[in-house]
């Protein structure tokens, strides 16, 4: 394109027969080449522009002073453009190195979730608000442990490297405690104690920790986080915490301890964990993304397809650019041949229920609020 521009300017000058009028536009060629090409290519295009300018100036019988000014300007623009090209290439190399480090950090912190974990189908989608950063303050992990499948989804206060460091701390403690501790509340307690030693007084982490210790029972511990969405019998409802507690890192200020909610979780049921970057995403009309309704529209027997549809709809809702990190983690208990009725095959969810806590309250079987944090 820069070479074509130089040739086009030369043709205009030839056809116009106006002497020096068009020649200064030859500088557009090397200037544009600095944006797209390497320094050597910029120099070649600049040399082409200088040669054509000299030939056209001589043909138009321009004065020696005018010709010298145009040629000097083209040489100066070419040299400056070459320097700009060299700096751009260097920045691109540095950015590529930073991206590779970010990708390595992402794989270390937010490890890929397989399609099957324990007895669950699973899928995850994560989008950082800063596209070049690749990682941010949201966190998730899904593990198959001796105490059943366990998962965490959380959101660190703040952004940038401090948030990434806190997310790494939470995930490291969770992955260790999830294997060691048979009690899910003790897993949360170990994360709390670690954060209390390492976080500042104004820092905290909202999180939902879930576990599946035995068939038919899902344990949920919510520490100031957005309530998960439970899909059961063709209905979608939020799992509202019975006794809300502050986020992780702040329990020392209030003395409150989290409670353990136990939900019936049967074959075909699904649980969606997410961060507030999903529910607080706004469109151009400042309307929040309706996640519950979106879940009811897109839920299927394949978590990966459901999560992909939710993510695509979220991106369309915000016009393609999120203003906060967003994470989605979906668990589904597959329907086995023994639990599927022969005459009534399992049907996909097609409509939501009211978004209040009525369905969740009916699903709760027990709450342990007096267990140690």
CATH number, domain containing residue 333: 3.60.40.10
In a domain, 21, yes or no: yes
In a domain, 109, yes or no: no
Interatomic CA distance for residues 315 and 317, integer angstroms: 5
Q: List C-alpha distances in Å: 136 to 56, 163, 165, 227.
A: 56, 7, 10, 21
Same domain, 160 and 220: yes
Same domain, 33 and 119: no
What domain count does the chain have? 2
SS3 state at 184: helix
pLDDT at residue 301 in the model: 92
Mean per-residue pLDDT for 148-153?
96
Q: Quick one: tokens of 250?
A: 């702040």
Q: Which of 74, 102, 130 is the last residue of a domain?
A: 102
Q: List C-alpha distances in Å: 39 to 1, 22, 30, 81.
A: 16, 25, 10, 8
Same domain, 194 and 303: yes
The pLDDT tens digits for 293-346 are 999 999 999 999 999 999 999 999 988 788 788 899 999 999 876 655 544 444
Q: List C-alpha distances in Å: 225 to 188, 208, 218, 283.
A: 13, 6, 17, 23
Residue 65 predicted with pLDDT over 80: no
| Residues forming a β-bridge with 235 | 232
Q: Decide if 352 contacts 292 (C-beta within 8 A).
A: yes
In a domain, 262, yes or no: yes
Structural domain range at position 229:
114-368
Residue in this structure with the two tokens 């986020």, named with its chain if needed? 247
The pLDDT tens digits for 261-303 are 999 999 999 999 999 989 988 988 889 999 999 999 999 999 9
Residue in this structure with the two tokens 């099957």, named with its chain if needed? 116
In a domain, 107, yes or no: no
Same domain, 160 and 199: yes
Beta strands in 97-159 (DSSP E): 116-117, 120-127, 138-145, 148-156
In a domain, 327, yes or no: yes
Q: Which of 102, 127, 153 is the last residue of a domain?
A: 102
Residue 60 predicted with pLDDT over 70: no
Same domain, 40 and 171: no
In a domain, 373, yes or no: no
Q: Decide if 267 contacts 335 (C-beta within 8 A).
A: yes
In a domain, 319, yes or no: yes
Same domain, 252 and 220: yes
pLDDT at residue 365 in the model: 40
Q: What is the DSSP letter of 211?
A: E
Among the residue ranges 144-153, 155-164, 209-218, 257-266, the one predicted with the least confidence is 155-164
Interatomic CA distance for residues 90 and 88, integer angstroms: 5
Interatomic CA distance for residues 268 and 333, integer angstroms: 5
Same domain, 244 and 359: yes
pLDDT mean across residues, the chain: 81
Same domain, 85 and 119: no
Same domain, 53 and 184: no
Same domain, 307 and 329: yes
Pick from 317, 241, 233, 310: which is nearest to 282 by CA? 317
In a domain, 132, yes or no: yes
Residue 366 predicted with pLDDT over 50: no
Residue 226 predicted with pLDDT over 70: yes
The pLDDT tens digits for 71-128 are 788 888 888 888 888 898 998 888 877 766 666 666 667 888 899 999 999 999 988 7
Same domain, 66 and 169: no
Same domain, 61 and 162: no
- Write the CB contacts of 228 (distance below 8 Å, at least 6 apart in sequence): 208, 210, 220, 222, 238, 239, 271, 272, 273, 274
| Residues forming a β-bridge with 366 | 262
| Residues forming a β-bridge with 260 | 368
Q: Which of 67, 102, 137 is the last residue of a domain?
A: 102
Interatomic CA distance for residues 349 and 298, integer angstroms: 8
């Amino acid at each position: 394109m820069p070479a074509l521009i130089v040739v086009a300017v030369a043709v205009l000058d030839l056809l116009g027969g106006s002497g020096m009028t068009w020649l200064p536009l030859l500088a557009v060629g090397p200037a544009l080449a600095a944006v797209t090409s390497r320094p050597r290519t910029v120099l070649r295009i600049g040399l082409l522009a200088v040669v054509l300018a000299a030939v056209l100036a001589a043909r138009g019988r321009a004065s020696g002073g005018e010709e010298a000014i145009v040629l000097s300007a083209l040489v100066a623009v070419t040299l400056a453009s070459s320097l700009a090209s060299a700096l751009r290439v260097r920045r691109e190399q540095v950015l590529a190195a930073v991206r590779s480090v970010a990708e390595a950090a992402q794989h270390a912190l937010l490890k890929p979730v397989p399609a099957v974990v324990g007895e669950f189908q699973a899928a995850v989608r994560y989008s950082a608000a800063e596209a070049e950063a690749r990682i941010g303050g949201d966190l998730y992990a899904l593990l198959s442990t001796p105490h059943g499948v366990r998962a965490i989804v959380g959101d660190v206060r703040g952004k940038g490297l401090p948030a990434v460091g806190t997310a790494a701390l939470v995930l490291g403690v969770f992955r260790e405690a999830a294997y060691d501790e048979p009690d899910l509340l003790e897993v949360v307690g170990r994360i709390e104690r670690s954060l209390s030693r390492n976080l500042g007084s104004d820092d905290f982490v909202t999180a939902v920790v879930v576990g599946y210790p035995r068939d038919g029972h899902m344990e949920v511990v919510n520490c100031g986080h957005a309530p998960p969405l439970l899909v059961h019998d063709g209905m979608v409802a939020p799992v509202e915490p019975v006794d809300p507690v502050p986020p992780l890192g702040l329990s020392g200020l209030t003395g409150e301890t989290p409670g353990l909610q136990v939900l019936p979780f049967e074959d075909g049921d699904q649980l969606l964990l997410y961060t507030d970057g999903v529910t607080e995403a706004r469109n151009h009309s400042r309307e929040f993304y309706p996640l519950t309704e979106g879940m009811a529209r897109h839920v299927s027997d394949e978590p990966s397809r459901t999560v992909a549809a939710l993510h695509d709809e979220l991106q369309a809702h915000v016009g393609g650019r999120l203003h906060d990190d967003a994470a989605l983690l979906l668990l589904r208990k597959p329907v086995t041949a023994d639990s599927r009725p022969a005459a009534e095959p399992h049907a996909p969810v097609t409509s939501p229920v009211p978004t209040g806590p009525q369905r969740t309250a009916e699903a709760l079987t027990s709450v342990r609020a007096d267990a140690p944090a």
